[in-house]
Structure 1
Amino acid sequence: IPLFPTFALIAHYIVGTERGTEALRATILFGIWSVIPYLIYLISLYYFTASMKLPLALLSAVACWSASAFVLIKVWAHFYHQ
């Protein structure tokens, strides 16, 4: 149950009804790519917890997520909004 995409379901319904199918498809595609920063967060946290105290490991993992999310947004904007 915790993995059920409640907020995504609501967002997809709103985008699909208010902005149309193409916007919904773009939103879905971005959602697929947005899993990458979360994966980077989890992998980095897994490794950081072996060598750092938990608060520093969490902060470092969030920094990794932030950097990868920034790159994703820049790449998405470059290729999708041309």
Structure 2
Amino acid sequence: MLKACLGAAVVVILAMLAKTRNYYIAGLVPLFPTFALIAHYIVGKGRSLDDLKTTIVFGMWSIIPYFVYLTALYFLVDRLRLEASLALAALAWLVAAAILVSVWLRFH
């Protein structure tokens, strides 16, 4: 129940920010490291310090798929309907994330 309420609160905050003069800040709110905090706490409590540091480094590399998503969306919104642009940008994220994981597994 708490997770659902937190999720709803984030959606409300995003909707409110989108209507303000500083609407672009709505793009920053989803990047608050809520899940990263949880993941790092769980890994940090249940695994070694080296495992936690590996998780942190992988998290740094995970910025790449998000950048791919934003880049794809930036170019697609001029050419397609918003829904199609979002879907294709999400697909681009999935492809980039899959490549990241496969490269990580190969070299780590």
TM over 0.5: yes
* SS of corresponding position for 1:13: helix
Structure 1 runs of 4+ with >2 Å offset: 1-4
1:1-82 → structure 2 map (5 Å cutoff): 2=29, 3-80=31-108
Report the aligned-residue RMSD. Answer: 1.4
Amino acid across the alignment from 2:66? Y
Q: Deviations over 1:39-58 (max 9, x none)?
A: 10011101100111111111
Q: Following the alignment from structure 1 to structure 2, what is the Cα–Cα distance between the partners of residues 32 and 14? A: 18
- Alignment size in residue pairs: 80
Structure 1, 11-20 or 70-79: larger mean CA deviation: 11-20
Q: Deviations over 1:19-74 (max 9, x none)?
A: 01010001001100001000100111011001111111111111111111110010
Higher relative contact order, chain-length normalized (CA < 8 Å, sep 6+) = 1
| Amino-acid identity (%) | 47
TM-score, L = length of structure 2 = 0.69
Q: Following the alignment from structure 1 to structure 2, what is the Cα–Cα distance between the partners of residues 4 and 53? A: 28
The structure that has the greater radius of gyration is 2
